[in-house]
Amino acid sequence: MPHNGAQVKKKRRTRPKRSVFFHIVLERNMQLHPRHFGRNLRENIVSKLMKDVEGTCSGRHGFVVAITGIENVGKGLIRDGAGFVTFPVKYQCIVFRPFKGEILEAVVTMVNKMGFFAEAGPVQIFVSNHLTPDDMEFQSGDLPNYTTSGGSVKKKIVK
């Protein structure tokens, strides 16, 4: 301790808050029918990319929330016999990717005797009543169940 009588507070070690949202660059080959060629070719490619990619999920990158920019649209390659043209597209997007052990804040959307459903961003979560604390039990009827719909919960990702 310092001699001047001042107390030293221990710094509490806190884990840095990790984000579940990431801004990444991805690539995709887009196939376009010849009727979409012309003046608006780039806009048609971008529109199809947004329609095909936004709202999809992959185990590697997570849930694609939104495309934020197009870095490059490459030269098209004609597919033999089909007439379609494949364009390589490099784009920036925001993805939602929770990791095992991550704690998410979620909104309860439905409660039943088996457990409850909650949503954390684009992810829908089911929590079995076997995983709820022992001091909580399901009550059917007009009484509140585990919690009211629209209430929030925090859940840890285990699988």
63/121 same-domain check: no
3-state secondary structure of 116: strand
61/83 same-domain check: yes
Looking at residue 142, what is its pLDDT? 55
Which residue in the block uniquely carries the two structure tokens 């490619």? 45
Q: Which residues of 42-53 are buried (b: 16+ CB within 10 A; e: fewer)?
A: eebbbebbbeeb
Which residue in the block uniquely carries the two structure tokens 């076997």? 130
70/113 same-domain check: no
115/61 same-domain check: no
Mean pLDDT of the chain: 80
Can you tell me the mean pLDDT for 10-15? 52
Domain assignment present for residue 137? The answer is yes
Looking at residue 18, what is its pLDDT? 67
The better pLDDT of the pair 2, 90 is held by 90
Is the pLDDT at 143 greater than 70, yes or no?
no
Domain assignment present for residue 8? The answer is no
Model pLDDT for residues 95-128, shown as the tens digit of each residue: 998 888 888 888 888 888 888 888 888 888 888 8
Is the pLDDT at 23 greater than 90, yes or no?
yes
Domain assignment present for residue 48? The answer is yes
- Chain centroid, CA 63 distance in Å: 4
Can you tell me the mean pLDDT for 73-87? 91
40/66 same-domain check: yes
Domain assignment present for residue 3? The answer is no
The CATH number of whichever domain residue 80 belongs to comes to 3.30.1490.120
Cα 152 to Cα 15, 110, 140, 155, 159: the distances in Å are: 22, 12, 20, 10, 21
Domain assignment present for residue 9? The answer is no
In whole angstroms, give the CA distance from residue 122 to residue 118.
10
Looking at residue 145, what is its pLDDT? 46
91/111 same-domain check: no
Confidence of residue 17 (pLDDT cuts 50, 70, 90): low
Q: Final residue of a domain: which of 70, 96, 122?
A: 96
Confidence of residue 131 (pLDDT cuts 50, 70, 90): confident
| The most confident of 26-30, 33-37, 75-79, 137-141, by mean pLDDT | 26-30
134/149 same-domain check: yes
29/87 same-domain check: yes
Count of domains forming the chain: 2
Name the residue type at position 74: G
In whole angstroms, give the CA distance from residue 124 to residue 26.
25
Looking at residue 112, what is its pLDDT? 84
Cα 68 to Cα 30, 32, 53, 76, 146: the distances in Å are: 17, 21, 12, 22, 39
59/109 same-domain check: no
For the chain, the maximum distance between any two Cα atoms, rounded to a whole number of angstroms, is: 87
- Kindly state the percentage of the chain with pLDDT values over 70: 73
Please say whether the beta carbons of 51 and 66 come within 8 A.
no
Q: Is 73 left (phi over 0), alpha (psi -120 to 50) or beta?
A: beta
82/32 same-domain check: yes
Domain residues for the domain of 27 are: 21-96
Please say whether the beta carbons of 56 and 62 come within 8 A.
no
